[in-house]
Structure 1
Amino acid sequence: MTDPILQISVVIPLYNEEESLPELHDWIVRVMEEHRFTYEILFMDDGSRDGSWGVISELAAQNPAVRGVRFTRNYGKTAALQTGFQLVKGKVVITMDADLQDSPDEIPALYRLITEERYDLVSGWKQKRYDPISKTLPTKLFNAATRWISDVHLHDFNCGLKAYRQEVVKNITIYGEMHRYIPVIAKWNGFGRIGEKVVQHQARKYGQTKFGLERFIYGFLDLLSIAFVNKFGRRPMHFFGSLGTLMFFLGSLLAMYLLGEKIYNIYTHQPYRNATDNPLFFLALTVIVVGSQLFLGGFLGELLVKQSMTKSNDYLISEVIRSDERTQEVLSVPARRARL
Structure 2
Amino acid sequence: MLEPIEAGLSIPSVLAKIDVLSDLSIVIPTFHEVENIPIILDRINRLKEAYDLTLEVLFMDDGSNDGSVEAVIASGYSWAKLIERTGPRGLSAAVIDGFERARYTVLICMDCDLSHPVEVIPQMVLALATGQQFAVGSRYVSGGSTDDDWGIFRYLNSRVATLLARPLTKVSDPMSGFFAMRREDFLNSDDLNPVGYKIALEIIVKCHFNNVAEIPIHFSDRIHGESKLTLTEQLKYLKHVRRLYLHSFSNAMHLLQFLVVGASGVVVNLSVLSLLLLLNLPDTICLAGGIAVSVVTNFLLNRRFTFSYARDRSIGKQFLGFISVSSFGIVVNYLVAMSASKSGLADLTYGLHLSALAGISCGMFFNYIGNRYVVFRKTRIHSDRAK
Normalised by the length of structure 1, the TM-score is 0.72
- Decide whether the 8 Å contact of 1:6 with 1:89 is kept in 2: no
CA–CA distance in 2 between the matches of 1:100 and 1:188? Answer: 28
2:131 to 90, 93, 118: 118
CA–CA distance in 2 between the matches of 1:300 and 1:81? Answer: 36
2:100 to 86, 90, 101: 86
Whether 2:20 is the aligned partner of 1:20: answer no
1:262 to 342, 354, 364: 342
CA–CA distance in 2 between the matches of 1:179 and 1:312? Answer: 24
Question: Secondary structure of 1:97's match?
Answer: coil
CA–CA distance in 1 between the matches of 2:205 and 2:353? Answer: 49
Whether 2:213 is the aligned partner of 1:195: answer yes
**1:40-51 pair list within 5 angstroms:** 40-51=56-67
Whether 2:175 is the aligned partner of 1:158: answer yes
| Cα distance change, pair 220–251 in 1 and its aligned pair in 2 (3 A) | farther
- Decide whether the 8 Å contact of 1:94 with 1:163 is kept in 2: yes
User: Which amino acid is the alignment partner of residue 134 of structure 1?
Assistant: F
CA–CA distance in 2 between the matches of 1:34 and 1:180? Answer: 31
Higher strand share: 1
**1:192-231 pair list within 5 angstroms:** 192-231=210-249
Look up the match of 2:120: 106
1:14 deviation in Å?
A: 0.8
Whether 2:381 is the aligned partner of 1:309: answer yes
**Structure 2 unaligned regions, length at least 5:** 1-19, 263-324
Higher helix share: 2
CA–CA distance in 1 between the matches of 2:162 and 2:356? Answer: 43
CA–CA distance in 2 between the matches of 1:199 and 1:45? Answer: 25
CA–CA distance in 2 between the matches of 1:184 and 1:141? Answer: 17
CA–CA distance in 2 between the matches of 1:110 and 1:215? Answer: 27
User: Which amino acid is the alignment partner of residue 132 of structure 1?
Assistant: G
Look up the match of 1:299: 373
| Cα distance change, pair 251–156 in 1 and its aligned pair in 2 (3 A) | farther
Q: Percent identity at matched positions? A: 21
User: Which amino acid is the alignment partner of residue 107 of structure 1?
Assistant: I
Per mean C-alpha deviation after superposition, the further-off stretch among 294-303 and 17-26 is: 294-303
1:164 deviation in Å?
A: 0.9
| Cα distance change, pair 252–7 in 1 and its aligned pair in 2 (3 A) | same
Look up the match of 1:280: 354
- Decide whether the 8 Å contact of 2:333 with 2:361 is kept in 1: no
CA–CA distance in 2 between the matches of 1:124 and 1:194? Answer: 11
1:291 deviation in Å?
A: 5.4
User: Which amino acid is the alignment partner of residue 132 of structure 2?
Assistant: Y
**1:177-188 pair list within 5 angstroms:** 177=195, 179-180=197-198, 182-183=200-201, 185-188=203-206
CA–CA distance in 2 between the matches of 1:121 and 1:5? Answer: 13
CA–CA distance in 1 between the matches of 2:175 and 2:68? Answer: 24
User: Which amino acid is the alignment partner of residue 120 of structure 2?
Assistant: E
| Cα distance change, pair 120–183 in 1 and its aligned pair in 2 (3 A) | farther
**Structure 1 unaligned regions, length at least 5:** 266-270, 314-339
| Cα distance change, pair 295–91 in 1 and its aligned pair in 2 (3 A) | same
Whether 2:151 is the aligned partner of 1:137: answer no
CA–CA distance in 2 between the matches of 1:63 and 1:81? Answer: 21
**1:329-340 pair list within 5 angstroms:** none
Greater relative contact order (CA < 8 Å, ≥ 6 in sequence)? 1
How far does the alpha carbon of each residue in 1:206-239 deviate from its partner, in whole angstroms, 9 at most, with x for none? 1221112443332123112111123338x97999
- Decide whether the 8 Å contact of 2:329 with 2:367 is kept in 1: no
1:104 deviation in Å?
A: 0.8
Question: Secondary structure of 1:48's match?
Answer: coil
| Cα distance change, pair 279–79 in 1 and its aligned pair in 2 (3 A) | same
CA–CA distance in 2 between the matches of 1:144 and 1:107? Answer: 26
CA–CA distance in 2 between the matches of 1:90 and 1:209? Answer: 30
Normalised by the length of structure 2, the TM-score is 0.64
Q: Alignment RMSD, CA only?
A: 3.9
